[in-house]
């Protein structure tokens, strides 16, 4: 569906959370922490978390994100939406497909507006575990990326050899680094980009969908939560047309 989408404000971050079961060593509030190593864990194989978004909000995208080390601690995930916190008969429901290989999953749909969301998770581990979830709406940009983008899957594990030339590796994980530029952006798109930058800055993640099935078999390799390396400089290259570039590093 997508080739390029940016998402900023995460409605899950401002929500009041209610979990059907919870391991207090891995509380539900960990979902709102911007470190993937901070995870929620339940005490059963079937678990729900209700998100009170505080008000009815426009939503067209949901992400789920795994811990970089242990991956997804779930077998299935379904996201439901409703006008009230009673989910006996949710108004809208959709399965979120995810990739164990890339540690991320997302689903896009026509924009809806509800106050309450619920994620329903199942597992065979004796518990359900989830690192992060994004609930929100993508920017309605008219322009898209110009002149392509760059992607690097950087190895951040540490390697060291002793005096016998034996290799010792502190295995961590890889980290996505993505760079792209936008040129000839008009003032309407610029307002949306500036709103995004004001919301997230360098301390909160941007959620990105990059690529589609015409470009690669599974574009979840290039998609997920990333932090700005620094705030982009915006240039006025032509009258009422702007350009800038972004450098993003994956949340770990």
Specify the residue for token string 């016998």: 164
Tell me what pLDDT residue 112 has. Answer: 98
Q: Where in the chain is the domain with CATH 2.60.120.260?
A: 10-136
Closest CA to 26 of 47, 9, 51: 47
Q: What is the pLDDT at residue 215? A: 80
Please give the Cα distance from 123 to 145 (Å, whole number): 38
170-174 CB contacts, 8 Å cutoff, 24+ apart: 172/68, 173/68, 173/69, 173/252
pLDDT of res. 42: 98
3-state secondary structure of 102: coil
In this prediction, residue 12 carries a pLDDT of 97
pLDDT value of position 179:
94
Instruction: Please report the pLDDT score of residue 154 as a whole number.
Output: 85
CA distance 65 to 73: 10
CATH superfamily placement of domain 10-136: Galactose-binding domain-like (2.60.120.260)
Token pair 């290259």 is found at 237
Block means of pLDDT (10 residues each) for the chain, 252 residues, are 83 97 97 96 98 97 94 97 97 97 96 98 97 96 78 84 85 86 90 92 94 85 94 86 92 92
Radius of gyration of the chain (CA): 19
Global pTM value: 0.90
User: Do 145 and 215 form a contact (C-beta atoms < 8 A)?
Assistant: no
Tokens of 119: 């994620």
The per-residue pLDDT for 2 is 60
């Amino acid at each position: 569906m997508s080739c390029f989408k940016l998402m900023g404000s995460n409605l899950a971050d401002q929500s009041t959370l209610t979990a059907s079961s919870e391991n207090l060593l891995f509380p539900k509030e960990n979902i709102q922490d911007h470190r993937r190593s901070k995870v929620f864990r339940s005490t059963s194989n079937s678990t729900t978390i209700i998100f009170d978004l505080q008000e009815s909000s426009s939503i067209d995208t949901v992400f789920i994100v795994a811990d970089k080390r242990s991956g997804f601690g779930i077998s299935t995930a379904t996201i439901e939406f409703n006008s009230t916190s009673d989910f006996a008969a949710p108004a809208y429901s959709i399965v979120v497909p995810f990739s164990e290989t890339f540690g991320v999953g997302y689903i896009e749909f026509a924009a809806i507006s509800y106050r309450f969301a619920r994620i329903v998770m199942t597992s065979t581990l004796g518990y359900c575990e989830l690192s992060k979830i994004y609930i929100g709406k993508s920017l309605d940009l008219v322009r898209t990326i110009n002149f392509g983008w760059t992607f690097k899957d950087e190895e951040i594990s540490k390697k060291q050899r002793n005096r016998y030339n034996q290799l010792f590796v502190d295995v961590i994980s890889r980290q996505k680094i993505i760079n792209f530029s936008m040129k000839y952006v008009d003032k309407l798109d610029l307002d949306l980009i500036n709103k995004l930058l004001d919301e997230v800055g360098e301390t909160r993640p941007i959620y990105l969908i990059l690529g589609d099935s015409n470009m690669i078999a599974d574009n979840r390799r290039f998609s997920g939560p990333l932090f700005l390396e620094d705030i982009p400089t915006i240039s006025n290259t032509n009258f009422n047309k702007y350009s800038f570039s972004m450098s993003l590093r994956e949340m770990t």
